[in-house]
Structure 1
Amino acid sequence: MIVKHEINVPYRKATFGMGCFWGCDSLFGVMDGVLRTRVGYSGGTTPDPEYRNMGDHTEVIEIDYDPTKISYADLLDKFWNFHEYSLTAPIKRQYMSLILYHDEEQKQLATQSLKEEAAKSSEELITEIIPAGAFYPAEDYHQKYRLQGHSDLVDAIGLTRKLLQTSHVAARLNGYVVGLGGMEQFESDIPKLGLDDKTAEYVREQLRKNEGGMLYC
C-alpha cells in the first residue's frame, strides 16, 4: 500500500477557534479542497503555551487549503454552522469563537460574514476577528485525535508524529472515522489516498457506523 500523505500544490491558510479543537479537526479535514489541518494555540501573547498552561491563547485549528478547490467563504460557512459552544454566551478564552485572518481579503470576508450572521440572530454574537499571529501546535496526542483512537488504522497508513500535522490522508481519515464526508465521497477518495482493500473496508465500516452522529469533545 502506497499511502499518499503529501499534496504539493499552492495553498492558503485559514485559522479558526470554535470551541474544543478535536471536533473541528475532523470537520474541516474531510472537506474537499482542504489539504492539511493541525490544531494548536493562538490569538494571545503568552509565550510557548501548552494545554495545561495556555495563558491567554485559544484552541484553534490551522487549515491549509487549495483556493482553486474551496473558497474562504466556504470555510467561513462551516465555521459559523458548527461551533461546539454558543456564539452568543460568554465563555472562557480557551474555547472562544475566533477568526484569525491572514490577509486583508480574509479580514473583509470575515467581517462581512459576521455582519450577515449577526443580522440573523436576536442576540449579540461574541465572535472576535483579529490578525493571525504566532501559531503554536498542540501536543501530539491532540493532533487527529479521533483517528489516533484507531491504532491499527494508524499503523496501516504509517502515521508518524510529523505526519499527524502534515498528512492529507490523516486529515481525511480523521473525518471519515467519525462519520463525516459521506460514503460517496469516501469511495472516490480511496484511490486518491492510496488505501488498500483491507484499510478501505475498515474505514468504510466506521463511516457507516458513525454517520449522522454529533461531533463532541
Structure 2
Amino acid sequence: MSNYKKAYIAGGCFWGMEDLFRTQKGIKDTEVGYIGGQNDNPTYKNHPGHAEGIELTYDENETSFKHILDYFFRIHNPTTVNRQGNDIGSSYRSAIFFQNEEEKNVAEAMIKLVNDSNKWEGTVVTTLEPYSKFWPAEPEHQDYLVRKPDGYTCHFERFSDSFI
C-alpha cells in the first residue's frame, strides 16, 4: 500500500462522481463525504459550508493526480458556480482540495489546460481549497448508485478525449 495516495475533490452530488471514478484505472477505493465546511461531524442534514466531496484512494503506479483531475473536468461542469444539474448551493461547488503545493500547482495547470481547450462555453470556476478534514458521509450514501442503479445523478462523461 506504500504507493497509495488520496485525492479530495468535489463536483456536485457525490454519488455520481463516486460511481464514475470507481471504474477508473488506478482507483483503489472511493468514499463520499463532506469537506471544507464549518462544523465537526457533519451530516447530510447539517453540513454548513461543506462540499459534497469524494475521497479517492489511488495507486500512483497506475494513475496520477493529474489524470484524476483530467477525468474530474470531463464528468462535471466546472463552469457553473455552486451548481450541478438540479443541485444548487455551495454544497455542490466544484472544488479541488489540495494537500500540498505540488497538488496545487498541478490543479492550477489543469485549470489552465481546461480553459485553453475551449471545450466548455464558460470559464472554470473550480475553487482550489487547502485540504481540511474529510468526514465520511452516512452509510446510506456510500456506494449509493451501486445499490440503486436508477438513482439520480447529473454526472456523465461530457468529453471522451483527455485535456492532457
- Higher share in strand: 2
Question: 1:15, 1:60 within 8 Å by CA — same for their partners in 2?
Answer: yes
Q: Kindly report which structure 2 residues correspond to 1:140-155, keeping only aligned pairs within 5 A, or say none.
A: 140-149=139-148
The reply on whether 1:31 has 2:24 as its aligned counterpart is: yes
Q: Give CA deviations for 1:101-133 in whole Å, capped at 9, x if unaligned.
A: 122211110011111212225523211011111
Q: Kindly report which structure 2 residues correspond to 1:1-217, keeping only aligned pairs within 5 A, or say none.
A: 8-83=1-76, 86-91=77-82, 92-119=89-116, 120=118, 121-149=120-148, 215-216=153-154
Provide the TM-score with structure 2 as the length reference. Answer: 0.81
Q: 1:71: Cα distance to partner? A: 1.2
Structure 1 vs Structure 2: percent identity of aligned residues?
34
Question: 2:31, 2:55 within 8 Å by CA — same for their partners in 1?
Answer: yes
**Alignment-mate amino acid for residue 47 of structure 1:** D
**Partner secondary structure for residue 72 of structure 2:** helix
Question: 2:6, 2:57 within 8 Å by CA — same for their partners in 1?
Answer: yes
Q: Give CA deviations for 1:158-191 in whole Å, capped at 9, x if unaligned.
A: xxxxxxxxxxxxxxxxxxxx6xxxxxxxxxxxxx
- Higher share in helix: 1
Runs of 4 or more consecutive aligned structure 1 residues displaced over 4 Å after TM superposition: none
Measured at CA, do residues 9 and 32 of structure 1 come closer, stay the same or move farther in structure 2, by a change above 3 Å?
farther
**Alignment-mate amino acid for residue 89 of structure 1:** T
Q: 1:63: Cα distance to partner? A: 0.4
Question: 2:8, 2:53 within 8 Å by CA — same for their partners in 1?
Answer: yes
Q: 1:46: Cα distance to partner? A: 2.0
* Residue 159 of structure 1: aligned partner: none
Provide the TM-score with structure 1 as the length reference. Answer: 0.62
Q: Which has the larger radius of gyration?
A: 1
Question: 1:13, 1:102 within 8 Å by CA — same for their partners in 2?
Answer: no
Q: Give CA deviations for 1:43-65 in whole Å, capped at 9, x if unaligned.
A: 12222211011111000000010
Q: How many residues align?
A: 146
Q: CA RMSD in A?
A: 2.0
Q: 1:147: Cα distance to partner? A: 2.0
Structure 2 unpaired stretches of 5+: 83-88, 156-164
Measured at CA, do residues 122 and 30 of structure 1 come closer, stay the same or move farther in structure 2, by a change above 3 Å?
closer
Structure 1 unpaired stretches of 5+: 1-7, 150-177, 179-209
* Residue 86 of structure 2: aligned partner: none
